[in-house]
Chain A
């Protein structure tokens, strides 16, 4: 009568439990492999770089001699770049995402845009460098200034920000929109008062990741002409600049082997600044989520 044979069930039991244990071990090993490489990287950089990392390194310009080279120009240049990239990409990116999610009619055209956005997010950064070189440096004849570099990085991360913002706008429950429309709210009122506040933590997370990528990019900046050796700080977005990754890259190319240590020290600074920016953004994000 019984469709299930109890003996088969108990015979299979130990096998099922064994498989479960094996699966756990496989996933654990995968995690450990990643951690090991990360640990090795951190160890090598710290042992090589900590020796060169001191106040003079942070406050000095680069130099022909490894023991006098500093990263000040790179740090300030990168911050200037972000002051262009962050507002431009966040404003344009979020506005695009709002249009695509809330206003645009679903159709062939929006699907076409959508697919292209996702493809753009995967385009190698050097291609964006070429684009920035052509548009900003040549066509608009900006020269090799912060604005050109910042906008190029902006182009690079814009698709990432749009896609991230779209996903977080999409995850706002439809019932909330209905409630708002049901009271006679316009689309803009609904977006501004209901959708955006609920989506902002997700948008910021996407923004952080995108800007972290931008601050570490080297290739596009090489193309749009970030200087490798510069002894003045930019005082605005129309000045020449260098950036941390450019500085690090040029040190690794230097003939004296001691520059390797300088480069490692530069990487430590870059990582610390990245962590700092991330924690600021996480702090802002948590503040926003609590307010909801």
Chain B
């Protein structure tokens, strides 16, 4: 059944260097529409770097060089004519540490639509409601939309960031360890949210928590030292890994 889904990302022979240090080696990977794709692996294996390459956020580090191709919906995002602003409008991102802007909840959500030129107050109001509902936060904050987002708890802040990402109606949502700074209850809420979101979005989530990957994802990729060791259905990967290194990692023998 998975094979009938179309690809959002088609990664071909991706290599990446930070200066002289190679961080990713010959990655080939197909990311399918409406899947939750989990990226797991020990610290420093390149999983964060990889997911940040998918929307070219990795380029904010000045010494990064890449080779190979990443096709997003059939077009190579490293192409000279590819507008990185356009890519990031379609491929949204939620970061490891909740990073709301030091503005009101409302202003946080409308930031994206506003920079894309939407000015109509009514439309913006609707976007705020829809996005906050989409991030399962509406009921908690609907009476204090104009309060500073810094006043919210860590878990709520992270859901503001998810809502802020939903507000630009992306196609794909990248999540870089979105729950690592959250307590277990907030983590559970975000995980439930991801299950809801996959109906409408394709999600790529980096996690160092294998149980989380097993709980929420359809496919899992195991990275080790910058290499993609194994990439298959989550159930298969956790119950019947083909690579010895994957088996060692998921059984807790290292990492």
Contact = CB atoms under 8 A, between A and B. Distances in A.
A183 B62 contact: no
A47 interface: no
B102 A175 contact: no
Contacts of A34: none
Nearest to B100: A179
B92 A183 contact: yes
Contact of A186 (B85, B99, B168): B85
B95 A182 contact: yes
A21 B93 CA distance: 53
Interface in A170-192: 173-186, 189
Q: Chain A: interface secondary structure?
A: helix
Contacts, number: 65
Contact of A182 (B88, B116, B148): B88
B60 A194 contact: no
B15 interface: no
A183 B112 contact: yes
B78 interface: no
Nearest to B62: A106
Contacts of A186: 85, 115
A105 interface: yes
A42 B164 CA distance: 55
A184 B101 contact: no
A198 interface: yes
B99 to A, nearest CB: 4
Interface string A86-129: 00000000000000000001100000000000000000000000
Contacts of B101: 176, 179-180, 194
B95 A179 contact: yes
A173 to B, nearest CB: 8
Given A178-B57, A178-B95, A183 B89 contact: yes
B165 A183 contact: yes
A221 B211 CA distance: 72
Interface string B81-112: 00001111100110101011111000000011
Given A184-B85, A184-B168, A185-B85, A178 B115 contact: no
A177 to B, nearest CB: 8
B161 interface: yes
Nearest to A173: B99
Contact of A184 (B60, B89, B100, B161): B89
Contacts of A292: 102-103, 148
A198 B101 CA distance: 10
A176 B130 CA distance: 23
A179 B89 contact: no
Nearest to A183: B112
Given A175-B99, A178-B99, A184-B89, 5 more contacts: A179-B100, A184-B87, A184-B88, A185-B115, A193-B111
9 contacts: A176-B102, A178-B60, A178-B99, A180-B101, A182-B93, A182-B95, A183-B168, A184-B168, A186-B85
Interface of A: 105-106, 173-186, 189, 193-194, 198, 292
Interface of B: 55, 57, 60, 62, 85-89, 92-93, 95, 97, 99-103, 111-112, 115-116, 148, 161, 164-165, 168
